Amino acid sequence: MSNIQQINRRDFVKLFGLTSTGIILGCNISSDRKKFIPTSEKDTFSPNLFVQIEKNGDVTLIASRSEMGQGIKTSLASAIADELEADWKYVKVKQAIGHEKYGNQNTDGSRSVRTRLEPMRKMGAIAKMMLISAAAKKWNVAENTCKAENHFIINTNTNDKIFFGDLVDDAAKLPVPDEKLILLKKVEDFKFIGKNLKSVDLEDFTHGTATYGIDVRIPNMKFAAIARCPVTFGTVKSFDKSDAEKVKGVERIFELERLVPPTGQFFGALGGVAVIANNTWSAFEGKQNLNIEWNYGNNHSFDTEQFQKKLTERVHKKGKLVPGSRGNVSSTFNKSKNTIEATYHVPFLVHAPMEVPNATAWFQENKIEVWAPLQDPQTARAEIAHFFNTDVHNVTVNVTFLGGGFGRKSKSDFVVEAVALSKKINAPVQVVWTREDDIQHSFYHATSVQYLKGSLDTKGNVSAWLQRVAVPSIVSSFKSMSDYASGLELNQGFTNNPYDIQNFRLESVKAEAHLRIGWLRSVVNIHSGFGNNSFVDELAFAAKKDPVQFHLDLLGKEKVIKGRSDYPFESKRLKNVLKNTAKIANWGKELPKGHGIGVAVHYSFYSYVATAVEVSVKNGKVKVENVWTTIDCGLALNKDNIKNQLEGAAIFGMSIALYGKVSVKEGAVEQHNFFDYQMTRMKDAPNIYVDIVEAMNEPSTGVGEPGVPVMAPAICNAIFNATGKRVRSLPLLDHDLV
Amino acid sequence: MSKSLSINGKSYTVNVQDDMPLLWVIRDIVGLTGTKFGCGVSQCGACSVLIDGNLTKSCSMPVSYGIGKEIFTIEGTSENLEFLRKAWNDGNVPQCGYCQSGQLIAATSLLDKNENPTDEDIDAAMSDNICRCGTYSRIRKAIHKAVELKNKSI
Ligand code: FES
Ligand code: FES
């Protein structure tokens, strides 16, 4: 019988290079397999967890990372299919459930392709080897006289061929070949990798048939909305539900306790007052009609305007020295005739993915099942097991399509809420956040204030650089008293500052958290990218030099910085993207009146990006006209998808620069919805030109995030170029520039 | 409170209060989930449908408004929508896809009224629809492409 799991755990561990066998223990792959690949017939060949071939030739590939618009389902599948020599028209892609058998599934940090490309290629290669050996046996010839091509195995001596589907029975009986025998294809032989592949989900996306979390429907399910305290971690004092109960469709109203996560892990849930109804709108209306008195708690006095003042005062005084500083900054400043200083500010930001946080859960005796748009289903699963006191193996987490994630859907708080509600009402339930909930109760991208001081020598080169950074830490969401940015956070553009400056000093400044702090597309790089590139532009102006040339000079001699990862920083690659961007932007050309051009470079998620932006300023209002971006992300797995990502990153970065600001008064977020937390729209959208560096022999690096941090500084530098006005505090909206 | 609604040429009987927004009737009661919730306050266009051919934000229209009219959603089909779908495919437009139902409906409404929209027409017609993933330049190209495909087919 063919439906036998061919892979044992040791092979699996080997293939994935998992360092800890611990995370795989207790998982019986063979018995679980049927659960995640729905086989209509038994005659299938499943050489490993990621590939299944049926007799009719259909190939089902499993995407272990979540699809949130970054095109990962298509990208991972293309890597498998390429090595398998599959015909793309037979390929279907299925989303994996959250399970340790798939290795780490956390879809964050622009690392899915970087870490999964090779293992996925191996999965395809193994399947191909087994199909080849099945065919060779049939023909009674040596395996090396056979090759795979476009869904057939071909006998190269006779030109006979056998369809993949017809080899399923025989291949399934063969042992899995040793990993050492796997031969991966050469770059020049790639059929899908490095080409332009369209999303595998286009049909669904254009017909409204893709199932997002919010579209999940379970028989007899209820819908829920939760009123949460406007002040972070405030609690319910009392509530009157009489008006809410009058709303037709409302069935139950009760208090939901806050679930506090244990130190160091998980996200918990805020708690509040829950309204259960038989449709979403009644739940929303019921919530609207609640009268609740809150205990606001410790964060009631939080005020972002005051906080910004406090941080600004602090960065103007000495902070904590960060290791990695070099030379002597203060004596160089004392000697220099030309020093400049500047203070920059980025407000709190929120992700606002088009699909609001939501989750559907069904709590049953010894069995919890959830359906949700999750970037990190394994953490959600572990978190559910923790809070509901059960083993993870009793928890099934189904990952739906994500209507955008941007870091918000890495946090499983909304899933924990759904499970708690389902447990309480004893029925399946979907909790849906309103847009106001999303904007007012998020895990926010932290605000920052940074102070920079630099000096120029007589030749106009930067002789010293001092940078003080105050940014509330993400760690604060997991551990109290985390009042300084962590080393990992600072390593996003601050400690690993690429400039070749002899005297360099970085200081970290205290910044407490009064909101839940999370990560948002490109994270701390938003701050470092803005501060570094704005200040370099200011220095270039002071030195009376061209910004592009000034940047190139600052990057200095060619150097390779090893660091602790497998991806050393190479200054020549950063210079190369900058030169290319200057070229495609026709840098130095004469611009129409009222136009200006600015540039920014940034290295993040191991990728190199340079972006030039042209703006026009008419009647005091800024319009972004053109964006030119070059990325070097190593082996470019799916070029059109990478372009789409970079175009999207430009728009996302524009939203940050033009509009992004979450402000807090008396502990409560002041913004509500898209009318006061605005987004880039079609009328604002510039022309975007993306160039991808040919680096097929370099390992693949991040794509989803690295295009974001360059946008705000490039825009502000362009505004300076056009008007002489320097914007040091985001967003432009606050300066009446949009 | 039983009402009859005609959606994509099919008739549905629903039993809901008059003021429930059409969006939620379509999604939760009728069960057509292609029309999306994004903001609930006429700010994002995710919930766009056509009512008697007019582009409407279904989150902000009570169900009573739809009675006796023809409602068209992303699950439906029309000549212009089909050309747009092809163009969306050609240009590999969507990222997460969530806003694209609304984008396609808004673009259908544009082409229904304007056979050959300029960039300015597109700005005016499509700026109510937010795409957080930022697929605007592809949407713009795809609308032009749909016009091209349509002209070729005649
Ligand atoms: S949900 Fe209707 S416009 Fe946003
Ligand atoms: S494609 Fe994601 S919001 Fe438009």
Q: Taking CB atoms and an 8 Å limit, are B101 and A644 in contact across chains?
A: no
- A148 or A123, which is more confident? A148
A676 touches chain B (CB under 8 A): no
Q: What value does the mean pLDDT of chain A take?
A: 91
Side-chain-side CA neighbours of residue A444 (13 Å): 27
- Answer yes or no: is pLDDT of A3 > 80: no
How do the domains of chain B map onto residue ranges? 2-72, 79-153
Percentage of chain A modeled with pLDDT above 90: 77
Residue A463 to residue A505: CA distance in whole angstroms: 12
- Looking at CATH, the fold of the domain delimited by A213-298+357-432 is given as Aldehyde Oxidoreductase; domain 4 (3.30.365)
- Looking at CATH, the fold of the domain delimited by A307-350+444-734 is given as Aldehyde Oxidoreductase; domain 4 (3.30.365)
Pocket flag, ligand 2, residue A319 (CB < 6 Å): no
Closest to A493 (Cα-Cα) out of A450, A528, A537: A528
Longest pairwise C-alpha distance within chain B: 48
A585 secondary structure, DSSP code: T
Among all bound ligands, the one having the nearest atom to the CA of A674 is 1
Per-residue pLDDT band for A28 (boundaries 50, 70, 90) equals very low
Residues A429-475 pLDDT 10s: 999 999 999 999 999 999 999 999 999 999 999 999 999 999 999 99
Cα-based distances in Å from B90 to B4, B83, B85, B142, B146: 38, 11, 9, 8, 10
Q: Taking CB atoms and an 8 Å limit, are A279 and B20 in contact across chains?
A: yes
| Residue located via tokens 């244990």 | A262
User: What is the model's pLDDT at position A43?
Assistant: 60
Q: Closest ligand 1 atom, CA of B43? A: 3
For ligand 2, atom 3, name the residue with the nearest CA: B131
Among all bound ligands, the one having the nearest atom to the CA of A679 is 2
pTM: 0.92
Does residue A277 contact residue A283 with C-beta atoms inside 8 Å?
Answer: yes
Residues A662-712 pLDDT 10s: 999 999 999 999 999 999 999 999 999 999 999 988 988 999 999 999 999
Q: Taking CB atoms and an 8 Å limit, are A647 and B32 in contact across chains?
A: no
Residue type, A674: F
Ranking A99-113, A492-506, A594-608, A705-719 by mean pLDDT, the lowest is A99-113
Q: In the numeric block, which tokens belong to residue A29?
A: 């792959």
Closest to A604 (Cα-Cα) out of A641, A638, A553, A565: A565
Does residue B53 contact residue B59 with C-beta atoms inside 8 Å?
Answer: no
How confident is the model over B110-129, as a mean pLDDT? 98
Residue A360 to residue A432: CA distance in whole angstroms: 9
- Answer yes or no: is pLDDT of A22 > 90: no
Q: Taking CB atoms and an 8 Å limit, are A211 and B33 in contact across chains?
A: yes
Mapping DSSP to helix (H, G, I), strand (E, B) and coil, where does residue A258 land?
Answer: coil
Residue A507 to residue A318: CA distance in whole angstroms: 7
The CATH code of domain B79-153 reads: 1.10.150.120
Ranking A18-32, A180-194, A215-229, A644-658 by mean pLDDT, the lowest is A18-32
User: What is the model's pLDDT at position A123?
Assistant: 86
Side-chain-side CA neighbours of residue A700 (13 Å): 24
Axis-axis angle for helices A547-555, A525-542 (nearest 10): 110
Per-residue pLDDT band for A107 (boundaries 50, 70, 90) equals confident
Residue B65 to residue B47: CA distance in whole angstroms: 15
Q: Taking CB atoms and an 8 Å limit, are A648 and B135 in contact across chains?
A: yes
Q: In the numeric block, which tokens belong to residue A641?
A: 């998808």
Q: How far is the CA of A402 from the centre of ligand 2 (A)?
A: 10
* Contacting A residues, span 201-220, partner chain B, CB-CB under 8 Å: 201-202, 204-212, 214-215, 217
User: What is the model's pLDDT at position A32?
Assistant: 33
Pocket flag, ligand 2, residue A404 (CB < 6 Å): yes
Q: Which of B93, B96, B104 to mutate to test the pocket of ligand 2 (most atoms within 8 A of CB)?
A: B96
- A117 or A6, which is more confident? A117
A647 touches chain B (CB under 8 A): yes
- Answer yes or no: is pLDDT of A1 > 80: no
- Answer yes or no: is pLDDT of A501 > 80: yes
Domain B2-72 annotated CATH 3.40.50.10140? no
Does residue A662 contact residue A439 with C-beta atoms inside 8 Å?
Answer: yes
Per-residue pLDDT band for B1 (boundaries 50, 70, 90) equals confident
- Answer yes or no: is pLDDT of A70 > 50: yes
Burial A67-83 (b: 16+ CB within 10 A, else e): bbbbbbbbbbbbbbbbb
Percentage of chain A modeled with pLDDT above 70: 94
User: What is the model's pLDDT at position B132?
Assistant: 98
- A707 or A104, which is more confident? A707
Per-residue pLDDT band for A425 (boundaries 50, 70, 90) equals very high
Distance from CA of A8 to the nearest CA of B (A): 35
Per-residue pLDDT band for B150 (boundaries 50, 70, 90) equals very high
Residue A664 to residue A655: CA distance in whole angstroms: 19
Pocket flag, ligand 1, residue B42 (CB < 6 Å): yes
The ipTM, to two decimals, is 0.98
How confident is the model over A144-157, as a mean pLDDT? 96
Residues A356-371 pLDDT 10s: 999 999 999 889 999 9
- What chain B residue is nearest to A209 in terms of C-alpha separation? B34
Which part of chain A is CATH 3.30.365.10?
Answer: 4-206, 213-298+357-432, 307-350+444-734
Helix (H) / strand (E) element for A631: namely strand A621-632
Closest to A666 (Cα-Cα) out of A226, A227, A232: A232
Residues A385-415 pLDDT 10s: 999 999 999 999 999 999 999 999 999 999 9
Q: Taking CB atoms and an 8 Å limit, are A685 and B99 in contact across chains?
A: no
Q: Peptide bond before A731: cis, by omega within 30 degrees of 0?
A: yes
Q: Taking CB atoms and an 8 Å limit, are A681 and B46 in contact across chains?
A: no
Angular region, A47: left φ>0, alpha ψ -120 to 50, beta rest: alpha
Closest to A311 (Cα-Cα) out of A70, A560, A483, A91: A483
Residue B106 to residue B129: CA distance in whole angstroms: 8
Pocket flag, ligand 2, residue B135 (CB < 6 Å): yes
Q: How far is the CA of A90 from the centre of ligand 1 (A)?
A: 37
* Contacting A residues, span 40-99, partner chain B, CB-CB under 8 Å: 67-71
E runs forming strands in A327-435: 338-346, 358-364, 367-372, 395-399, 429-432
**Residues 6 or more apart from A686 whose CB is under 8 A from it?**
A613, A623, A624, A625, A626, A627, A650, A654, B137
| Best mean pLDDT range from A33-42, A43-52, A346-355 | A346-355
Residue B20 to residue A279: CA distance in whole angstroms: 10
Q: Closest ligand 1 atom, CA of B130? A: 4
Residues A270-322 pLDDT 10s: 999 999 999 999 999 999 999 999 999 999 999 999 999 999 999 999 999 99
The CATH code of domain A4-206 reads: 3.30.365.10
Residue A359 to residue A428: CA distance in whole angstroms: 11
Per-residue pLDDT band for A17 (boundaries 50, 70, 90) equals very low
Per-residue pLDDT band for A260 (boundaries 50, 70, 90) equals very high
- Answer yes or no: is pLDDT of A10 > 70: no
* Contacting A residues, span 547-606, partner chain B, CB-CB under 8 Å: none
Residue A68 to residue A645: CA distance in whole angstroms: 11
DSSP A22-70: GGGTT--HHHHHHHHS--SSS-EEEEETTEEEETT--EEEEE-S--SSS
**Residues 6 or more apart from A132 whose CB is under 8 A from it?**
A143, A146, A147, A148, A153
**Residues 6 or more apart from A610 whose CB is under 8 A from it?**
A574, A577, A578, A580, A581, A582, A599, A600, A601, A629, A630, A710
